[in-house]
Amino acid sequence: MRKYTFKNRELSWLDFNERVLQEAADITVPLIERLRFIGIFSNNLDEFYKVRYATVKRLALSKKKVKKFYKGENAKDLLNLITERAIELQNRSNLILDFILKDLEKENIFIADEQAIPKDSISYIKSFFLDKIQPKLKIVLLNEKDDFPQLSESSCFLIIKVESKNKNLNYAIVQFPDKFERFIVIKNQDVKYVIMIDDIIRYHLFEIFKIFNPSNISANMIKFSRDAELDFDDDISKSYLEKISQSVKDRLKGDPLRFVYDKEIDPNTLKFLLEKMNINSEIDSIIPGGKYHNKKDYMNFPILNNDLAYDKIQQLVIKDFYKHKTVFESIDERDFLVHTPFHKFNHILTFLSEASIDPEVKRICITIYRLSKLSSVANTLINAAKNGKEVVVQIELQARFDETNNIDYAKLMQDQGVKLIFGIPTLKVHAKVCVVEKLINNKILKYGFISTGNFNESTAKIYTDFTIFTSNQSLLDEISNVFEFFSFNYKKFKYEKLIISPYNTKKFFKSLIKNEIKNAKRGKDAFIKIKLNNITNYEMIKELYKAAEEGVKIYLIVRGICCLIPDQKNTHNNIELISIVDKFLEHTRMFIFCNNGKNKTYISSADWMTRNLDNRVEVTIPIEDEKISNQLNEIFSIYWNDNQKSRYVNSENNNEYRKNELGIIRSQSQVYNYHHNEN
């Protein structure tokens, strides 16, 4: 039996975040966009610790015998490897940030700390503090006896050490105001000063703590991450909605996993904090940092000069989509491919809006995974219910970090007459589908859409996703069966067209891979082209290794985590693997199989991860419309030829930019031009 090698999942994720950091370091990227990539890098790292580091830590603490993780290392050793890599990337991000801030100064934009506030702005800053900041500050005094207070990890904190003139020593935690812009802009003729809330607070520390008659005050920023796993109680009297709500609240009590501190902090203050917060230096990640943390806020850095940000693209309208009086008439004629953000998300909103008031529409069924905070999708569904339509919404309450948002909308929709389905508590619903039923001449006709992404108008501006609009009745009948399954889990349905996780996605793709192997052995053309976000399932990776050994050419575009290593013994360089990170987050999932020259093309909500294949409800559909199939094949080719934002993955030149002889090809720009030319 051949022995294959795999990249560790956690370390691969950190490699992906390094690619994000490369965008911050890229001098061809506009300056403010580079700052935003610093913010994205920081936010990614926060989520990594809450989810992946937390999982490894639980295994490290488990008394059960668990599998080895990486090159024979156990979970505890892997925690150390993660911390080492995280510190390396964090230090690099600090250096990159310093370079960006120096370049901003060349554009007359200065970050002013508490010691560099312009003199003619001090009066304004004092008024701003007294009127806006101080009333919303949360200050908690600390002492040796009391337990450490519960703190929200999403906030910013300063640990304050107050030395009074009578030699007394006091510690305090200052929490920044919630939902408050962190950057204050002061314009002084041609110069713009950006002052962070942190430094405005530092400037006023003697005012805040004057009651202690201070002789000296030190302030250092700290940051921590908690385990984000949701735990459920067994109280059968509680609804699923109540259990999720309580579990989200319980995250405030989650175990600490990572502690980041200002490396200039007094050693005694650091020791006091580590003891009070019960941080274990052996298994928790303790990381020295700079003066400022929560760099995710740089994602919202103000655009002070339009030349320092990406130009906004003119989002496109699909040709013929609005050709008729209603979009249903257009969809009757043919299928449509929407590729956001190049195309407008409004195509989806228009479809739902028309359905909400169309007298012939009797029923709307839709899955929801992540909603925008101000969701037009939810509002349209509520409007449909008010107009007497039967509206059925499968809403996923366990969409990580969006639980609260989804819970709020779930309660609102339920109050307005929308029928909510919560599916199976142990099986997340990640499928993105919608079916609308119209009664025309006493006959039910169906219209709908299937997508790779969430029906979220906010993320649709920055995530690339495919959505197929169709009136294919047999396909939509099967999607209706998926909704039937959500309500009646005991029912079994036969699917001729849909590929459904957790039932047959893995088996189906294995059969397609085996077909390519068979064709390769017969000397026929054989290739597999895959674009997805993550691939971690060893079983599917082994199938690709085997196919490569038999001569099947495999082209992989994997944005994020990738456990596949292309350079395997006996694969004969038949596997090529790249990743693309650019201004938009690549989120589309597509699969193209040669099939002896008669290409089979699919889009899917599922990555090739164990959770997507075995533990979630996912939908993959075949692309039967020849025009859309050709479009997807051409789009894949554009991405594959990218030589500006593509990198090699899991090879000797890991994360190096990929070059070719095709001239300048920046895939996202080229894809936009491709769609523009279609119109």
> Residue 613 and residue 300: Cα distance in Å, rounded?
35
Query: Does 587 qualify as catalytic in the annotation?
Result: no
Which CA distances in Å does 365 have to 160, 348, 362, 389, 450? 53, 14, 10, 10, 12
d(Cα 344, Cα 299) in Å, to the nearest integer? 23
Q: What is the residue whose two structure tokens read 């075995």?
A: 614
Residue 436's nearest CA partner among 445, 428, 426 is 445
> What DSSP string runs through 531-573?
EES-B--HHHHHHHHHHHHTT-EEEEEESS-B-B-S--TTSTT
The position carrying tokens 């805040």 is 208
The token pair at 41 is 């890098």
Angle at 487 between CA 486 and CA 490, to 5 degrees: 85
Angle between helices 538-549 and 505-521 (to 10 degrees): 10
To the nearest 10°, the Cα dihedral for 181, 187, 193, 198? -30
- Token readout for 310 is 């990406």
- Which of the residues 293, 343, 347, 430 is marked catalytic? 430
Cα separation, 612 vs 614, whole angstroms:
6
Q: Dmax over Cα atoms in the chain, in whole Å?
A: 90
DSSP state of 165: T
With 0-12 / 13-18 / 19 or more C-beta atoms within 10 angstroms meaning exposed / middle / buried, residue 552 is buried
Identify which of 177, 159, 149, 467 has the alpha carbon closest to the alpha carbon of residue 331: 467
Annotated catalytic residues are 430
